[in-house]
Chain A
Amino acid sequence: MIRRTGRADGTADGTADGRAGGPGSGDSSGPAPLPGSGPGPGRPRRPGRRRAGRVPVALLLPALLGLAFLVLPLVGLLVRAPWSALPEQLTSPQVWEALRLSLVCATAATAVSLILGVPLAWLLARTELPGRRLVRALVTLPLVLPPVVGGVALLLVLGRRGIVGSWLDSAFGITLPFTTTGVVIAEAFVAMPFLVISVEGALRAADPRYEEAAATLGASRLTAFRRVTLPLIAPGIGAGAVLAWARALGEFGATITFAGNFPGRTQTMPLAVYLAMESDPEAAIALSLVLLVVSIAVLAGLRERWMSAP
């Protein structure tokens, strides 16, 4: 009988009165369930509606082919891995440098995405920003844009002769392209939309009336955001951050276009893999294995949220 309405957008009367019930009726409802708490691990699954009988070959064959197509390359990576030479490969300073650079840059790009992306998501979810649909479309664009195009665009704006870049150069002597900072910028450009979309979804799922409750207790909008909204959407922020981090770690196109490929400075793992393929395929395989392990770790971290399909 207790129906929770998602948003109180002013038509709160429906919320208040939307339950029939006099003194004689009404069933027990505990405190409101936690908003934004996704499907828990112990969630009962719906019994699958599987029909017994033969699976048509016309469906089975392409399905198995598709599976093989997705899995075989990874198997190949494991089969062809130079297991005996692996310890030596992985302890080479070049590998460590690329791995360290990758981790540092992806983490920094995630931090940048968090600092800028969470407020942006809040703006999209909680305010009547004029042209909000357009803004959301623009935010989402880097998701579908070929990363190389992103890199070119970044060069045109932040490059030494770019619109903002030339000013940064002349006024502060700051150069962004072909530096480690440039790597972070390129990765953040590509990864931030993942975070914004994820956090915005979490914000929309969270009941905005908690913020109203905070306001009636004397909290400013910023305090309400900090002390109420942020903790409520923490799982969404976490998932978005992991997703953004994984995307940043694998970034190739925008990075190589905007930041180049200098070992120790801008050569991240994906670039190192690409380069190694030309000169030393075994090293490339070893590097790929490392990235594969990292990806599996990310997937394991996210499985609660993304893998438990309804």
Chain B
Amino acid sequence: MTSHPGAAGLDARLRVDRAAYTLDLALTAAPGEVVALLGPNGAGKSTALRALAGLLPLGAGHLRLDGDVLEDPAQRLHTPAEERPVGVVFQDYLLFPHLSALDNVAFGPRCRGRSKREARAEAAGWLERMGLAEHAAARPARLSGGQAQRVALARALAVRPRLLLLDEPLAALDARTRLDVRAQLRRHLDEFEAVAVLVTHDPLDAMVLADRLVVIEGGREVQSGLPAEIARRPRTDYIARLVGLNLYRGTSAGHRVTLPDGAVLTTDEDLSGPVFVAFPPSAVVLHRSRPEGSARNVWELTVNGLDLHGDQVRADLTGAVPMAADLTPAAVAELGLARGSTVWAAVKAAQTHAYPA
């Protein structure tokens, strides 16, 4: 490892060629920052994580951590996983089933040269911090999902990593446990001083846990930024669906945005050139006949499907401007909506949000 002083944190360009796709991702993070890699199945999130951990060699690019070069294929440099200052929380935790919680946590310190007694004392401290002191002697099979998750986190932190990797840390938990564990994990990540990279396909986990999101699709970054920014201004259909927005890309002239197939959307923003327009499904008002009034965004659409979302019904509408619309079950009955029926959809210009593409 060669040192470049001053470059604290993570600085990586990960390029891994797989049969199905190529991962090519630039990733930087400052110490103390939590970055979430968010993306659909097969986007390359876990490949990126494995590459960071050293479990998968880079095809090209580089990986520097706090100034130390961990990997640089051009110089045939590859620090193996066991020599990297990296801790990993695997998605199904992979706690060693034949070891107690304490020995699972002590495993790392032990491998890094501590005596058995020191390692166990250290592990006991970590379990204490995680509120698991009374479960120290338990085998992983006897732990609940939330407890196992905390043991896995303690095990990863016990090697005092300068890069903490979390692979879908909440995916294996049921909905109720998830809420608690998510809050606890947020607290532990806040206390963690080095870089943390989190992989998830769940936008809520990403938004709650991360300081910054990197959205990847097809092995490439499609958008990155603060969670709130991404939620407000999605740039791909995938992100728009995740954050629950209708998203269109078109060309703006003044307040009029023309979509590729000719439909026109009216917005409040005055922009020119390529733009995105987004509005939430709740902004759509449905009518049985063409509405009179101020709304200029009015289209006749066909109902493609109806789904219950909480206490709302989400209608999937196709036509000139395909969109999702939320309405109450009562409104569905009143309008007599069914698959295949036609309906008028109106969206106020003030409810839309346009931003440069």
Chain A interfacial positions (CB closer than 8 Å to B): 2, 4, 8, 10-19, 21-35, 207, 209-210, 212-220, 223, 227-228, 231-232
**16 A–B contacts from the bound complex (CB under 8 Å):** A10-B50, A16-B49, A26-B174, A28-B177, A29-B145, A29-B174, A30-B144, A31-B148, A209-B90, A213-B88, A216-B156, A218-B82, A218-B108, A220-B111, A228-B96, A232-B98
- Bound form: Cα–Cα A228–B168 in Å: 23
B82 touches A215 (CB 8 A): yes
Q: Is B155's beta carbon under 8 Å from chain A?
A: yes
Q: A216-B81, A220-B82, A228-B96 are in contact. List 17 more A-B contacts (CB 8 A).
A: A13-B42, A23-B175, A26-B178, A29-B145, A30-B143, A30-B145, A31-B148, A212-B94, A215-B54, A216-B55, A216-B87, A217-B111, A218-B82, A218-B83, A218-B108, A218-B111, A219-B111
A16 touches B159 (CB 8 A): no
Chain A to chain B: the 10 pairs with minimum beta-carbon distance, closest first: A17-B41, A16-B46, A218-B111, A28-B174, A217-B108, A215-B81, A213-B94, A231-B98, A216-B88, A31-B140
A26 touches B175 (CB 8 A): yes
User: B10-49: contact bitstring with A at CB < 8 Å (1 yes, 0 no)?
Assistant: 0000000010100000000000000000001111111101
- B197-205, B220-228, B260-268, B333-341 - the one binding chain A: B197-205
In the assembled complex, which residues on chain A have CB atoms less than 8 Å from the CB atom of B18?
10-11
A31 touches B50 (CB 8 A): no
Chain B interfacial positions (CB closer than 8 Å to A): 18, 20, 40-47, 49-50, 53-56, 80-84, 86-88, 90-98, 107-108, 111-112, 140-141, 143-145, 148, 155-156, 159, 167-168, 171-175, 177-178, 199, 201-202, 204-205
Q: Chain A nearest CB: distance from B228 CB in Å?
A: 18
A26 touches B173 (CB 8 A): yes
In the assembled complex, which residues on chain B have CB atoms less than 8 Å from the CB atom of A16?
45-46, 49, 91, 167-168, 171, 199, 201
B159 touches A217 (CB 8 A): yes
A23 touches B204 (CB 8 A): yes
- Bound form: Cα–Cα A209–B93 in Å: 10
Name the contact of A215 in the complex, choosing from B47, B80, B140, B201 (C-beta under 8 A).
B80
Name the contact of B175 in the complex, choosing from A2, A13, A18, A24 (C-beta under 8 A).
A24
Name the contact of B111 in the complex, choosing from A2, A210, A223 (C-beta under 8 A).
A223
In the assembled complex, which residues on chain B have CB atoms less than 8 Å from the CB atom of A231?
96, 98
Question: Which B residue's beta carbon lies closest to that of A35?
Answer: B97
- Bound form: Cα–Cα A34–B41 in Å: 26
In the assembled complex, which residues on chain B have CB atoms less than 8 Å from the CB atom of A10?
18, 47, 50, 56
Question: Which B residue's beta carbon lies closest to that of A11?
Answer: B18
Name the contact of B171 in the complex, choosing from A26, A209, A210, A227 (C-beta under 8 A).
A26
Most interface-central of A14, A23, A227 (chain B CB within 10 A): A23
- Bound form: Cα–Cα A49–B201 in Å: 44
Question: Which A residue's beta carbon lies closest to that of B19?
Answer: A11
Check A216/B86 contact, CB under 8 A, given A10-B56, A28-B145, A32-B94: yes
Name the contact of B159 in the complex, choosing from A2, A18, A31, A218 (C-beta under 8 A).
A218
Name the contact of B97 in the complex, choosing from A22, A32, A227 (C-beta under 8 A).
A32
- Bound form: Cα–Cα A29–B174 in Å: 7
Question: Which B residue's beta carbon lies closest to that of A230?
Answer: B98
In the assembled complex, which residues on chain B have CB atoms less than 8 Å from the CB atom of A15?
46, 91
Check A34/B107 contact, CB under 8 A, given A16-B199, A23-B204: no
Question: Which B residue's beta carbon lies closest to that of A220?
Answer: B82
B112 touches A218 (CB 8 A): yes
In the assembled complex, which residues on chain A have CB atoms less than 8 Å from the CB atom of B55?
212, 215-216
Check A17/B98 contact, CB under 8 A, given A22-B202, A212-B81, A218-B82: no
Name the contact of B95 in the complex, choosing from A11, A31, A212 (C-beta under 8 A).
A31
Question: Which B residue's beta carbon lies closest to that of A32?
Answer: B92
- Bound form: Cα–Cα A31–B111 in Å: 23
In the assembled complex, which residues on chain B have CB atoms less than 8 Å from the CB atom of A21?
171, 202
Q: Chain A nearest CB: distance from B200 CB in Å?
A: 9
Question: Which A residue's beta carbon lies closest to that of B158?
Answer: A217
